[in-house]
Amino acid sequence: LNTEQLIEQDIAHHLHPVTNLHRHKRQGPLVLVEGKGSKVRDSEGRWYIDGFAGLWNVNVGYGRQELVEAARQQMARLAFQPTFFGLATPPVIELAAKMHQLLPHHSHFQFTSGGAESNETAIKIARYYWALSGKPEKTKIISRRMAYHGIAMGALAATGVPAYHADFGPLPPGFLYLSAPLAYRNNPGLSEPGFVAMLAQELEDLILREGPETIAAFIGEPVQGAGGVVPPPEGYWQAIVPILKKYEILLIADEVITGFGRTGEMFGQTTYGFQADITSFAKGITSGYVPLGGVGISPQIFERISAPDRMFMHGFTYSGHPVACAVALANIAIIEREQLWVNAAERGAQLLRRLRELEAHPHVGNVRGKGLMALVEVVEDKGSKKPFDAARGIGERLMQVSREKGVIVRCNDTGFAIAPPLVITEQEIDELVNALAETLDEVLGA
């Protein structure tokens, strides 16, 4: 099919996720056909810098033949076997052992096909742990506003972005929300330690109000991502973790974006110096070459849930898909061999430094980021921090113009979210930021 036919068929038959369907009927898709390094090519032959690494996930960049070969060999040898009923294949066993090496505070790992499934798994394991500890009333999950944990019902309930909830209710009960640790919007003028103390107090107040005996777990991304890229203030996790321990509440770290190098260390937990009871991950574990996610759990949780005479009644057909696990092993080998977290830290510092130049723009309210995840927040009025009215379609214009300038980033009415492959070069970062600066001037005036 040529580009015109592809666009026609897409409009006619493809129901796009997280898309304005009305507008899409008129505009159709940008069809991408090939990738190399940090760049992708469209069906008309034009190359773009992929400033969003697919969906924050193509960490090793495009065109890695080692991953193709790993998939090919496993498909040819044994395309599929489940991990139910005590079955296993070499790739899933090796990947579980590799994950233990990367996250030594977790002894056991179960795999899924993505982030939402991983968070469903994490939440269910937390509840199961308390049920088997003789505390079946410990079921509530504490989350935070601006959190994004995925689209399946449990993960959706943990998600703290109202737009994802609207018109899909009722959601499962038992989810509680705290403030996002976003100084730009939520710090009432306190010092950084004062802001952290305020957030910690909010957590403790919520726990005492609800009763710690009713709360199973706190779920949080080390750096909030899809809700608006929120690197926490200094000392945030050090303030939160002891409160959770005090009230016997499990900590689930959602490392779906932050895992596998993006924050400048292999995991966000290393970047921020804490250890969760359960870690969920996905995206960067295969750099998106095939779908895979999973969770790691502490030895204490494993000990409890492997009680006598109990079946662990949770898992997906594709928990530990051998092809996905083989690709994950090859992908992790590339990340380690090329120490891509180092490039994420270095290029991330450059990215943030260059993006901060945009703060001089009359409509850039805030620039924030950690490693290779960043956000340029645009506002109608800098003084009041008032966002743009949705009716103006600012996000749509930013998307159109940035693509015309040869870069793909996530654009919405909040601004640009940027998360390129971890292999991005110094020159590509400059090209990317220059294109975004020109886009801002063109859409919102210089």
CB contact at 8 A, 211 and 136:
no
- Site pattern 158..197 for ligand PLP (x: CB under 6 A): ----------------------------------------
Comparison of 257 and 436: residue with beta carbon closer to ligand PLP = 257
Q: Does 148 bind ligand PLP (CB under 6 A)?
A: yes
Of the listed pieces 95-103, 250-258, 360-368, 406-414, which binds ligand PLP according to CB under 6 A?
250-258
- Within 109-138, which residues bind ligand PLP (CB under 6 A)? 114-116, 119
Q: Which of residues 212-241 bind ligand PLP (CB under 6 A)?
A: 221, 225-226
Shorter beta-carbon distance to ligand PLP: residue 123 or 433? 123
Q: In whole angstroms, how large is the CA radius of gyration of the chain?
A: 22
Beta bridge partners of 48: 40
Pair of tokens at residue 58: 């193509």
| Binds ligand PLP by CB under 6 A, chosen from 150, 160, 369, 415 | 150
CB nearer ligand PLP, residue 229 or residue 379: 229
Instruction: Give the nearest distance from C-beta 389 to ligand PLP in angstroms.
Output: 26
Q: Which of 68, 86, 121 is nearest to 281 (CA)?
A: 121
**CB nearest ligand PLP: which residue?**
115
Out of 50, 120, 254, 277, the only residue in the binding site for ligand PLP (CB under 6 A) is 254
Distances in whole angstroms, Cα of residue 62 to Cα of each of 43, 45, 261, 340, 434:
16, 16, 16, 14, 23
Minimum CB separation of residue 224 from ligand PLP in Å reads 8
Stretch that binds ligand PLP, among 26-34, 144-152, 199-207, 376-384 (CB under 6 A): 144-152
Query: Which residue's entry shows tokens 């009763």?
Result: 211
CB of 258 to ligand PLP, least distance (A): 8
Report the interface residues with ligand PLP, using CB under 6 A.
55, 114-116, 119, 148-150, 221, 225-226, 254, 256-257, 282
